[in-house]
Amino acid sequence: MNFEKYPFEKLNELLKDIKPNENYELAALTIGEPKFETPQFIQDELKNTTNDLQKYPASAGLPELKEAMLSFVKNRFDVELQMDEIIPTFGTREVLFNFPQFALFDKEKPVMAFTNPFYQIYEGAAIASRAEVIHIDLTEENSFKAQLSDEELQRCDLVILNYPNNPTSANMTKEELASWVKKALEFDFILVNDECYSEIYFEENDKPVSLLEASIFAGNNEFKNILVMNSISKRSSAPGLRSGFIAGDKEILKEYMKYRTYVGCASPVPLQKAAAVAWKDLSHVEEFRKIYKKNFLLAKEILGVKTPQATFYIWLKVENELEFTKKLFEQKHIKVLPGSFLGRNGIGKGYVRIALVENEEKTKEVLTRLKDFLDG
């Protein structure tokens, strides 16, 4: 297998010979990892359950974890799932990588489509599945919303969307997602939405919808061909818990669960129990949203950028993203991620991704530094 280098490895190579301005502390705005402590009640649950390390974890996940996830889906999206319509996963990275291999294994010439720019695990999964790739190009002209022709969709076996979107921060409405549900049924392909940023939003009216909601809206109450993935990593500042899920079509999940018993990626019991209390609680998520909203208000005030509906990313348009990244690092000791490292076929060129994942004080200082650079 010939995998592309990860974007962060490319960034290190790009900056390796540059001496940054040591008058400033390093500000890394590259990775989508919240820089806040995991809430204490989650930590306490983990500490109080270490005795369960003596037990092998079941691949299917603890009943209380599944119930907590079902509760989240019901409370957040008003969708009532059954136990056989959800599987806990070890975060979403592993399932995004191995689900396509499972789903495409029996296809003689598999075809997989995904949004471009993208989270690189999508491409890795396509390579591991020996799949032909159709890129769903997200551009300013289409408002960074996923579109493919019927001719392309007829060829697809698996499509991965990502809304709210990393890195563009774009979102899609229930009606727009429902049109994709109808296409998945019409052309009989599996449609997945990676919804890991669904809880990082700033206004009640802008709450991202789930593909599950869109499926019901489209009349597909059994979620045929429809799956979503979600995680507590961003919303609970707990990426180390590695807790995610895949939910939707129970017929697909039934067979996928068999596959997972061989994969051996079950989460340790203490992690599952800590994750369960995190999934059940929504109040701590609201507190993190308030922090991110303040960060974007600062970005609007200092940089003049529009606050997105969701995610904690700024998709900043620049003249030359590689030169911009190098000079910003050299002059202001700030790291950002070139958009071309996140896309293919020229998509992402002329943009940098900025992750606003620090506290308000640090964010204000770094954005002011960035503004000085832009004005210079």
Asked if the model's pLDDT at residue 264 lies above 90, the reply is: no
Q: Are residues 87 and 187 in the same domain?
A: yes
CATH code at position 273: 3.40.640.10
Is pTM beyond 0.75 here? yes
Q: Are residues 44 and 126 in the same domain?
A: yes
Q: Are residues 309 and 238 in the same domain?
A: no
Phi and psi angles of residue 119, each rounded to the nearest 5 degrees, phi first: -75, 125
User: What would the mean pLDDT of 90-115 be, rounded to a whole number?
Assistant: 97
User: What would the mean pLDDT of 264-293 be, rounded to a whole number?
Assistant: 95
Q: Are residues 264 and 326 in the same domain?
A: no
User: What would the mean pLDDT of 366-375 be, rounded to a whole number?
Assistant: 96
Asked if the model's pLDDT at residue 366 lies above 90, the reply is: yes
Q: Are residues 199 and 291 in the same domain?
A: no
pLDDT at position 65, please?
A: 97
Who's near 15: CB < 8 A, 6+ residues apart? 325, 326, 329, 335
Domain termination residue (choose one: 246, 281, 316):
281
Q: Are residues 106 and 254 in the same domain?
A: yes
C-alpha span between 263 and 118 (Å, rounded): 25
Is residue 1, in this structure, part of any structural domain at all?
Answer: no
Who's near 18: CB < 8 A, 6+ residues apart? 326, 329, 330
Is residue 169, in this structure, part of any structural domain at all?
Answer: yes
Q: Are residues 151 and 262 in the same domain?
A: yes
User: What would the mean pLDDT of 74-103 be, rounded to a whole number?
Assistant: 97
Q: Are residues 219 and 288 in the same domain?
A: no
User: What would the mean pLDDT of 93-108 be, rounded to a whole number?
Assistant: 97
C-alpha span between 368 and 303 (Å, rounded): 8
Q: Are residues 105 and 116 in the same domain?
A: yes
For residue 344, give its domain range: 7-37+284-375
User: What would the mean pLDDT of 185-211 be, rounded to a whole number?
Assistant: 96
Asked if the model's pLDDT at residue 59 lies above 90, the reply is: no
pLDDT at position 56, please?
A: 92
pLDDT at position 228, please?
A: 98
Asked if the model's pLDDT at residue 2 lies above 90, the reply is: no
Is residue 291, in this structure, part of any structural domain at all?
Answer: yes
Is residue 292, in this structure, part of any structural domain at all?
Answer: yes
pLDDT at position 32, please?
A: 87
The residue length of the chain stands at 376
pLDDT at position 1, please?
A: 80
Q: Percent of the chain having pLDDT more than 90? A: 95
Q: pLDDT by residue (tens digit) across 116-153?
A: 999 999 999 999 999 999 999 999 999 999 999 999 99
Domain termination residue (choose one: 231, 261, 281):
281
- Before 34, cis peptide (omega within 30)? no
CATH code at position 318: 3.90.1150.10
Asked if the model's pLDDT at residue 310 lies above 90, the reply is: yes
**What does pLDDT average to over the chain?**
96
Q: Are residues 297 and 246 in the same domain?
A: no
Q: Are residues 225 and 292 in the same domain?
A: no
pLDDT at position 290, please?
A: 96
Phi and psi angles of residue 335, each rounded to the nearest 5 degrees, phi first: -100, 130
pLDDT at position 300, please?
A: 97
Q: Are residues 91 and 179 in the same domain?
A: yes
> Rg of the Cα trace of the chain?
21
Asked if the model's pLDDT at residue 160 lies above 90, the reply is: yes
Is residue 2, in this structure, part of any structural domain at all?
Answer: no
The number of distinct structural domains making up the chain is 2
Domain termination residue (choose one: 281, 301, 329):
281
C-alpha span between 164 and 43 (Å, rounded): 28
Is residue 313, in this structure, part of any structural domain at all?
Answer: yes
Is residue 357, in this structure, part of any structural domain at all?
Answer: yes
pLDDT at position 58, please?
A: 86
Is residue 119, in this structure, part of any structural domain at all?
Answer: yes
